[in-house]
């Protein structure tokens, strides 16, 4: 039975905003018939401290941010927003557990790769990717792990938090001339020019994926942002829906073929119509169930 991790609290009201949190609800509804929805519980403070410093964690827990901190996150910070991001951190921890148990963990959320150890950025409050990996390591389930980040934006927060961590390899393939302006180095960064389409994108991904697995990860966390889609409002890549599906299939087959568990997080997606974005996210999740079909 497929298990999809999701909480209704993810779809939080942030007013008129380019980040459509309702996409999580729509994606969950699209895949609900394929399995069961599992709701994460609040993470402990100690779990969040695995990837974040105490001052930042306390600000998140108390929902108290300065105006400058809110502007850097580009989010109105409310208790509901705090809860949504705390639960998504716990959701990725649960996805990592499911991956280690069953080969695949499916999170209908997460992928907040712009959150740093001591602050949030770019719609991201807590770095659920780093929390998930560090939690699995702290409990002794893994030593080596890898991040495959295929969001259109570079995973600056993930790269910063996990830099220098022995046994962790971070791979980000993204549009080079796009946010963030300062890109802390991942273990492997591949910057693409605006306008890159399916053929070139998939060829470059195929060339670089082996470097991730040369590191011999015992767990992969996949940031499967769909903002590389040709109609995305914030990206400039030209991937079709079929190209995104083939991208996901390459990651799925690379992990499955090597027997490496993979936890999927959704990441970015900013289409003009929220149902289109949710459909693309649901397509990713469906493929990782092994069904490999597009969501209509």
Closest C-alpha among 95, 119, 115, 117 to residue 107: 95
- Mean pLDDT within 77-83: 95
Q: Residue 291: pLDDT band by 50, 70, 90 thresholds?
A: confident
17 has a pLDDT exceeding 70: yes
1 has a pLDDT exceeding 90: no
Dump the DSSP string for 140-179: TS-S-EEEEE-SSS--HHHHHHHTT-TTEEEEEEEETTSS
- Mean pLDDT within 78-96: 97
Other CB atoms within a 10 A radius of the CB of residue 262 amount to 25
Q: What is the pLDDT of residue 296?
A: 37
What tens digit of pLDDT does each residue of 21-78 get?
999 999 999 999 999 999 999 999 999 999 999 999 999 999 889 999 999 999 989 9
**Helix, strand, or coil here: 5?**
strand
Is 292 part of any domain?
Answer: no
Q: How many residues are there in the chain?
A: 296
259 has a pLDDT exceeding 50: yes
140: Cβ–Cβ under 8 A, 6 or more apart, which residues? none
Q: What is the pLDDT of residue 16?
A: 84
- Mean pLDDT within 183-209: 98
- What whole-number distance in Å separates Cα of residue 260 and Cα of residue 56? 33
Is 272 part of any domain?
Answer: yes
Q: What is the pLDDT of residue 294?
A: 43
**Helix, strand, or coil here: 212?**
helix
Closest C-alpha among 126, 138, 142, 162 to residue 48: 126
Closest C-alpha among 269, 222, 280, 213 to residue 106: 222
* Domain count of the fold of the chain: 1
**Could you tell me the pTM of the whole model?**
0.96
- Strand ranges inside the chain, DSSP E: 2-5, 35-38, 104-107, 145-149, 168-175, 188-192, 220-223, 262-265
CB 114 within 8 A of CB 120: yes
Is 296 part of any domain?
Answer: no
- What whole-number distance in Å separates Cα of residue 74 and Cα of residue 100? 34
Is 293 part of any domain?
Answer: no
12 has a pLDDT exceeding 70: yes
The half-sphere exposure of 13 on its side-chain side, counting CA atoms within 13 A, is 1
Write the DSSP symbol of residue 223.
E
Write the DSSP symbol of residue 234.
S
Q: What is the CATH number of the domain that holds 25?
A: 3.40.800.20
Average pLDDT, the chain: 96
CB 116 within 8 A of CB 157: yes
Is 280 part of any domain?
Answer: yes
Is 132 part of any domain?
Answer: yes
Phi, psi dihedral angles at 103 (to 5 degrees): 100, -30
CB 220 within 8 A of CB 212: yes
Q: Residue 2: pLDDT band by 50, 70, 90 thresholds?
A: very high
**Helix, strand, or coil here: 214?**
helix
Is 38 part of any domain?
Answer: yes
Q: Residue 199: pLDDT band by 50, 70, 90 thresholds?
A: very high
CB 239 within 8 A of CB 197: yes
Write the DSSP symbol of residue 260.
-
Q: Residue 15: pLDDT band by 50, 70, 90 thresholds?
A: confident
**Helix, strand, or coil here: 66?**
coil
Q: What is the pLDDT of residue 63?
A: 86
What tens digit of pLDDT does each residue of 109-147 get?
999 999 999 999 999 999 999 999 999 999 999 999 999
The domain of 43 spans: 2-287
Is 295 part of any domain?
Answer: no
Other CB atoms within a 10 A radius of the CB of residue 40 amount to 23
Question: Cα-atom radius of gyration of the chain, to the nearest Å?
Answer: 17
- What whole-number distance in Å separates Cα of residue 120 and Cα of residue 76? 12
């Amino acid at each position: 039975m497929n298990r999809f991790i999701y909480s209704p609290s993810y779809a939080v009201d942030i007013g008129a905003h380019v980040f459509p949190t309702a996409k999580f609800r729509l994606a969950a509804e699209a895949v609900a018939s394929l399995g069961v929805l599992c709701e994460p519980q609040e993470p402990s403070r100690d779990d969040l401290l695995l990837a974040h410093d105490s001052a930042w964690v306390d600000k998140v827990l108390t929902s108290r941010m300065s105006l400058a901190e809110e502007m850097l996150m580009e989010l109105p910070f409310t208790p509901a927003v705090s809860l949504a991001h705390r639960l998504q951190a716990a959701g990725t921890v649960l996805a990592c557990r499911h991956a280690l148990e069953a080969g695949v963990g499916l999170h209908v959320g997460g992928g907040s790769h712009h959150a740093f150890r001591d602050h949030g950025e770019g719609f991201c409050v807590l770095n659920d990717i780093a929390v998930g990996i560090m939690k699995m390591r702290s409990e002794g389930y893994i030593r080596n792990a890898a991040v495959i980040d295929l969001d259109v934006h570079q995973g600056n927060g993930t790269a910063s938090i996990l830099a220098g961590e022995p046994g962790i390899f971070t791979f980000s393939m993204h549009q080079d001339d796009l946010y963030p302006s300062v890109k802390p180095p991942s273990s492997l960064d591949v910057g693409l020019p605006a306008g890159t389409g399916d053929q070139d994108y998939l060829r470059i991904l195929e060339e670089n994926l082996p470097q991730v697995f040369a590191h011999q990860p015992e767990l992969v966390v996949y940031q499967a942002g769909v903002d590389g889609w040709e109609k995305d409002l914030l990206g400039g890549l030209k991937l079709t829906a079929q190209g995104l599906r083939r991208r996901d299939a390459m990651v799925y087959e690379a992990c499955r073929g090597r027997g490496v568990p993979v936890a999927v997080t959704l990441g970015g997606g900013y289409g003009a119509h929220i149902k289109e974005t949710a459909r693309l996210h649901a397509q990713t999740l469906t493929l990782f169930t092994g069904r490999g079909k597009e969501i209509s």
